[in-house]
Structure 1
Amino acid sequence: MKIGLLFGSFNPIHVGHLIIANYMANYTTLDKVWLVVSPQNPLKKYGDLINTYDRLEMAKLATDNSIKLEVSDVELKLPQPSYTIDTLAHLKEKYPQHEFAIIMGSDNLVSLPKWKNYKLILRDYQIFVYPRPGYENTELATHPSVTITMTPMMELSATFIRQSIANKKNVQFFVPDAVLNFIESKNLYR
């Protein structure tokens, strides 16, 4: 089975994430997409990241009724900070029957040369790229391992959702109902 890995903090998971994952699982050569909840991205500041297990639970709630989308907690079990190359090596060893690919935005494709062992990633894994505003033409876009997709572009961010919740704005339809109920029940992002 060919599995696409969509890494993220999912702080919180929102419909933009789900649209990307669903597109990749249904409109590319991928059979499934695993949403990999990352404890901490080494290239990002810690900021207002909530409890990892709350983010994991929200991702599970968001994908509960999906056949092709699953949530993975693999990075929670690995040394931190978690580097994609280490996660890929772990998954390859644990699930030799699967072929893994990476899903990333065109903004991450631009910063890929800053990643640990990025040349190995390009050599050994296919990368499916979804468009991000302002990052249409990237140097690595023509690399043989890179597939640029026509995923619908969404300008929705977890930062916007967190700020909206903090300002008591309505975020219905930006996050799945089950996720919104979870956020409200735990009084998150207030």
Structure 2
Amino acid sequence: MKKIGLYFGSFNPIHNGHIAFGNFFIENTDLDEVMFIVSPLNPFKTNEELLGQQHRLNMVQKALLKFPKLICSDIEFTLPKPNYTIETLNHLISCQANVSFTLLIGEDNLVNFNKWKEYKNILKLVDLYVYPRKHRNKIPKHLLKHSKINLLDAPKLDFASSHIRKKLKKGEVIKSSIPTSTMAYLEKNNIYK
């Protein structure tokens, strides 16, 4: 059975940390692929600085071209809004019965995981692989001990889309932070200028 890790995000814009995150799971777990699911809107975030979903999807598709095990999905664009992870999982599982899915999140998301819609049902459907950040001491104890939640060891990356957007708006060069294709797309479409 094929194993696919699901990496949800706004990818506003996609950066090298996102790609390193996906590659880490391919290289260090039993996953065959990592699916980057571009979310139209995160229920926990404001919509103020969110680029249009098509721009974000285009950038993710271009950034992942060199990584055959990292794939892009717009599945959430077609689902009713607002959309929650549990609904996307139910949809994916119903469409792909011969695939085993694993939810990929950072520790920062695990801190508030018990506030996610139907989080207990999410844990019935899939395992969680959790990438380390600097939040382990804030994670609720019952989640730390849950048998379906796997906390992984990995180098901590210091990338943030919000920081990258600020630098781009100031005209600062950040080529080491984002894929070349993303920079080219932003320049071609006059984004953040």
Q: Measure the CA separation in 1 of the matches of 2:192 and 2:153.
A: 32
Structure-1 separation of matches of 2:44 and 2:3: 27
CA distance in 1, matches of 2:89, 2:41: 16
How far off is 1:187 after superposition? 1.1
* Structure 2 residue ranges without an equivalent (≥5): none
What secondary structure is seen at the aligned counterpart in 2 of 1:174?
coil
Instruction: Tell me how far apart the structure 1 counterparts of residues 157 and 105 of structure 2 sit (CA, whole Å).
Output: 14
1:163 is aligned to: 166
2:175 corresponds to: 172
Counterpart of 2:149 in structure 1 is 146
Please tell me whether the aligned partners of residues 15 and 176 of structure 1 are also in contact (alpha carbons under 8 angstroms).
yes
Task: Tell me how far apart the structure 2 counterparts of residues 151 and 55 of structure 1 sit (CA, whole Å).
Answer: 27
> 1:83: which partner in 2?
84
The gaps in structure 1 that reach 5 residues or longer are none
Partner of residue 117, structure 1: 118
Match of 2:7, SS state, is: strand
Q: What does the per-residue CA deviation read over 1:149-182, in whole Å, with 9 as the maximum and x for residues that have no partner?
A: 1232112100011000000100101111011100
In structure 2, what is the Cα distance between the partners aligned to 1:80 and 1:189? 27
Matched residues in 2 for 1:124 and 1:8: separation? Answer: 20
Match runs of 1:1-190 below 5 Å: 1-133=2-134, 135-137=135-137, 138=139, 139=141, 140-190=143-193
Deviation at 1:124, TM superposition (A): 2.0
For 1:29 and 1:173, locate their aligned partners in 2 and report how far apart those are by CA, in whole Å. 29
The DSSP-based 3-state class of the residue aligned with 1:188 is coil
Distance in 2 (alpha carbons) for counterparts of 1:15 and 1:76: 24
Letter in 1 for 2:156: M
- 1:59 touches 1:71 (CA, 8 Å); kept in 2? yes
Give the aligned CA root-mean-square deviation in angstroms.
0.9
Kindly state the Cα deviation for residue 145 of structure 1 after the two structures are TM-superposed: 0.4
Q: Could you state the TM-score of these two structures normalised by the residue count of structure 1? A: 0.97
- One-letter code aligned to 1:99: S
Identity of aligned residues (%): 38
Contact 1:20–1:151 (Cα < 8 Å) also in 2: no
Q: Structure 1: how far apart are the matches of 2:8 and 2:184? A: 24
For residue 128 of structure 2, give the secondary structure of its aligned residue in structure 1.
Answer: strand
Q: How many residues align?
A: 189
Cα shift readout 1:73-118 (whole Å, capped 9, x = no counterpart): 1000101111000000000011111011100011111111111100
Alpha-carbon distance in 1 for matches of 2:44, 2:181: 30
CA distance in 2, matches of 1:95, 1:124: 13
Cα distance in 1, alignment partners of residues 131 and 119 from structure 2: 18
Amino acid at match of 1:136: R
Partner AA of 1:103 in structure 2: L
CA distance, structure 1, for counterparts of residue 152 and residue 33 of structure 2:
16
| Distance apart, 1:25 and its partner CA | 1.3
> 1 CA distance for matches of 2:10 and 2:51?
9
